[in-house]
Amino acid sequence: MGLKKTLSILAATTLAVGLLAGCSGGQKQQNTSSGGSGGNSGSNVIKIATQTPLSGGSATLGESIKLGAQLALEEQKANFEKLGFKLELVPYDDQGDPKKGVANAQLIGADKQIYGVVGHLNSGVAIPSSEIYEKYSIPMVSPANTATDVTDRGLKTVNRICARDDFQGPAGAKFAVEKLGAKKIFIIQDKTAYGTGLAEAFKKGAEELGAQILGFEGITVGEKDFNGVLNQVLAKKPDLVYFGGLYTEGGLLIKQARDKGITVPIMGGDGLDSSTLVQIAGDAVKNTYMTSTAGLATATDAGRQFAEKYKQKFGKDIESYSAYGYDSMGVLLKGLENAIKANGNKLPTRQQVAEEVRKVQDYQGVATKVSFDEKGDNKYAKIYIYKFEEAKYPAKLEDEVSKQ
């Protein structure tokens, strides 16, 4: 939104807050084990951090990444004990806020026992935070960051297993124009690194296919009344509305659009890919389409087994990025294991781990296969297109687009 990726913390609706409160509980202790410098001398402890929103409006997806990563790490503990090392997870709450993400990244860098990071959800948080990881040579594997700048900066430590916006946007535009027959489109975006970047990529793709863009308007993260922009939509009479942003604003926008009598299809990106979108929008979510970098994990036997283990352990169903958090941790631990073995079964340096993570090829996860290119992008990344035919999550899969 990887999902799933905005610059600012999202203010939840009253309903969303109630739903998310349980998701973000029990995380207050997250920084207690990583505030000091740690130190590797004589220690066999290797820590892996997660950085995602565990509180605030995007906590549903942030927590799902953390839980997926946690499950993968716990399954690998015995394997690393045989190598002589003890794995520990240290979760950080970046609150969907770049300043908090950077502050946490400094703490992560200072803890010498941390050898990798699974995160972030928001591209606007990942971009500045990853500058700190690069400084400390700490490898990052992202399950959800789609903004092109995440990997285009050429940082050696930054990797992602999901697709980029310059793939997702055009894929959505092609479906909207060719499959839905959209010729006149009104675009709304949330003015964040994620939302604006995705909306611009969609706009470019739609225009190249001959569609007319009737409007490209911005909203403010945390806003709850979209009357102004929706009146513009009514006046312009588009045959499709596109939204670049996350599910908190997206759910409200969809609900208010339907209440105003806007019945045309509404489309968005992977930021909408959450069960909370349905909770907020209710029946109004019908005839909403979304592109997502996250495939339906339960479409495969491995994915179904993962979903069962996840629910058994955490007492809740998987979200769009649960499996991507799991696979991101799997890739990171594969690189760590390779670095340990290449170093004569001794503790490697962070730089050695980062190099081995970037070298990972043909890793088969439960959600996606992973091979990193020279930038740290996944050669096997795909885009999935879903339609909400009813107020039910997950939505119905309509199409699948390969990067190749």
Res. 14 pLDDT band, cuts 50 70 90: very low
Give the pLDDT of residue 16. 36
Give the pLDDT of residue 7. 36
What mean pLDDT do residues 213-234 have?
97
> Does 9 have pLDDT greater than 70?
no
- The token pair at 141 is 């594997």
Give the pLDDT of residue 297. 84
With contact defined as beta carbons under 8 Å apart, do 293 and 160 qualify? no
Q: Provide the β-strand partners of residue 187.
A: 216, 242
Q: What is the dihedral of CA 117, 119, 123, 125, to 10 degrees?
A: -70
Spatial separation of the C-alpha atoms in residues 373 and 381, rounded to whole Å: 11
With contact defined as beta carbons under 8 Å apart, do 363 and 401 qualify? no
Res. 404 pLDDT band, cuts 50 70 90: low
What mean pLDDT do residues 23-46 have?
46
What mean pLDDT do residues 357-371 have?
97
pLDDT, tens digit (0-9, with 9 covering 90-100), for 325-360 = 999 999 999 999 999 999 999 999 999 999 999 999
Give the pLDDT of residue 12. 37
Give the pLDDT of residue 298. 83
Give the pLDDT of residue 21. 33
Query: Are domains 14-163+303-381 and 166-293+383-402 of this chain identical in fold?
Result: yes
Q: What is the pTM of this model?
A: 0.84
Q: Provide the β-strand partners of residue 372.
A: 378
Domain boundaries defined on the chain: 14-163+303-381, 166-293+383-402
Query: Mean pLDDT of all residues in the chain?
Result: 90
Q: Provide the β-strand partners of residue 87.
A: 46
pLDDT, tens digit (0-9, with 9 covering 90-100), for 179-207 = 999 999 999 999 998 999 999 999 999 99
CATH 3.40.50.2300 fits 14-163+303-381, yes or no: yes
With contact defined as beta carbons under 8 Å apart, do 154 and 370 qualify? no
Domain 166-293+383-402: give its CATH superfamily.
Response regulator (3.40.50.2300)
Residue 257 CB neighbour total at 10 angstroms: 24
Q: Which of 84, 93, 106, 121 lies closest to 36, judged by CA?
A: 106
Spatial separation of the C-alpha atoms in residues 69 and 322, rounded to whole Å: 8
Provide CB contacts within 8 A for 404, sequence distance 6+. Answer: 379
Widest Cα–Cα separation across the chain: 69
With contact defined as beta carbons under 8 Å apart, do 209 and 173 qualify? yes
